[in-house]
Structure 1
Amino acid sequence: MTPSDTPTPEARAAKRKRVPLVIVNTGHGKGKTTAALGTLMRAVAHGFKVIMLQFIKTTEDPRFGVYGEIQSAQKLGFEILPLGDGFTWDTNDPERDRQTARRAWEICKAKLQSPEYDIVALDEITYAFTFGWLTTAEVIEAIQNRPPHMHVILTGRDAPPEIIEMADLVTEMREVKHPFTTRRVVAQIGIEF
């Protein structure tokens, strides 16, 4: 093959057909959201339009301020929409949490239907299943009816079997050792948020 016969990067890219994937990052180990953010960052470098919708995190946490990933996303030119009320593990108002999740889901469905996005990440959505805020059937239906070019990433602990079955790629983060368990080191800026 001579240099003139070598395909240009554009020609090589045109030959590659995008195969839309459903990716699940689950498990009890750290790194589910971080892995999704890494994928989004990589995709943005290739000109993809991406968005992350966060089910638990709020715009600004009084303990931490603005989350680091939101600040980085703004600098890199992609969207992260925090749609939650903050960490609700010890909630005093489960009905409010359910309503917040339902409002968040309506926004997520709109993004999943939009041909504008190449990747939609649903961060910490598995908690919406765990707490009974959403059904797996409604989420699976929305994902199956997305535009044909769109990748979807779901994150969170304890992904239900139906979500795992639907997915093309499932990674389980397993905790081997954690500084909170071994030394009571709490979440830190730049590592967890």
Structure 2
Amino acid sequence: MSKKVVQVYYGQGKGKTTAAVGQCIRAASLGQEVIIIQFLKGKDAEEFCFLNKLEPDIKLFRFEKAHEFYCDLSDEERIEEKKNILNGFNFARKVIDTGECDVLVLDEVLGLVDYGIITLEDIIKLIELKDDYSKLVLTGQNMPDELVNYVDLISKIEPIKQ
């Protein structure tokens, strides 16, 4: 298998998830297995539910139970949702460890660091787990400088006009 590629889409602009999904569609069209795990979007993030129609080539997972975005939850709701989010992150580890797919997208995973749900070290350990995938795509609003040496491609998406 070729060397793994770790790619990041980050920034304040819209389109990070869309860019990552584009990578997924390209990979699926080449016969690769793709898994997307979304974080911090709330259970009702319907914008990419059409991906369910692309199963089994592209599999979409969300572990959150709340209908609202994480930042809109009460403190008590956040405690419960954090458990669900950590289940999703642990699932990502399992996917990499078992070589379950060729392309793994962790949508808004960088936001988990921003909210203190996981650490930057957790992401680095995830990247270093195993080489049994060809591409790992991470998205989020912020790109920590400490992560740069672990990533092959970085794309910043920012609004020019709103």
- What's the TM-score, normalizing by structure 1? 0.74
- The answer to whether the 8 Å contact 1:114/1:147 transfers is no
Letter in 1 for 2:11: G
Q: Does 1:143 align with 2:127?
A: yes
Q: Distance in 1 between matches of 2:79 and 2:53?
A: 36
For structure 1, the 5+ residue unaligned runs are 1-16, 179-193
**Mapped pair 1:155 → 2:143:** no
Please name the residue that 2:91 is paired with.
Answer: 107
* Partners of 1:156 and 1:57 in 2: CA distance: 11
Report matched runs for 1:38-187 at 5 Å: 38-59=22-43, 61=44, 67-71=46-50, 73-77=51-55, 78-84=58-64, 85=66, 86-93=68-75, 94-178=78-162
For 2:132 and 2:31, how far apart are their aligned partners in 1?
Answer: 18
Query: What's the offset of the Cα at 1:126?
Result: 1.2
- Superposed displacement of residue 158, structure 1: 0.7
Judge conservation of contact 2:96–2:133 (CA < 8 Å) in 1: no
> What value does the CA root-mean-square deviation take over the aligned residues?
1.7
In the TM superposition, residue 113 of structure 1 has moved relative to its aligned partner by: 1.3
Larger radius of gyration, structure 1 or 2?
1
Matched residue of 1:89: which SS?
helix
User: Structure 2: how far apart are the matches of 1:42 and 1:136?
Assistant: 29
**Per the alignment, in what secondary structure is the counterpart of residue 25 of structure 1?**
strand
Shift of 1:141: 0.9
SS state of the match for residue 49, structure 2? helix
Which segments of 5 or more consecutive residues in structure 2 lack a partner in the other structure? none
Identity of aligned residues (%): 28
Q: Which moved more, 1:80-89 or 1:19-28?
A: 80-89
User: What amino acid does structure 2 have at the position aligned with 1:82?
Assistant: R
Asked if the contact 1:24–1:164 (Cα under 8 Å) also holds between the matched residues in 2, the reply is no
Structure 1: distance between partners of 2:48 and 2:85: 21
Cα displacement (A) at 1:138:
1.6
Q: What amino acid is the match of 1:89?
A: C
After the TM superposition, which parts of structure 1 deviate over 6 Å for at least 4 consecutive aligned residues? none
Q: Deviations over 1:1-20 (max 9, x none)?
A: xxxxxxxxxxxxxxxx6331
How far apart are 1:129 and its partner, in Å? 0.2
Give the match for residue 3 of structure 1: none
Which stretch of the first structure deviates more once superposed, 91-100 or 120-129?
91-100
Structure with more of its chain in strand, by fraction: 2
Q: Is the 8 A contact 2:35 2:104 kept in 1?
A: yes
Structure with bigger RCO (C-alpha 8 Å, 6+ apart): 2
For this pair of structures, how many residues does the alignment match?
Answer: 156
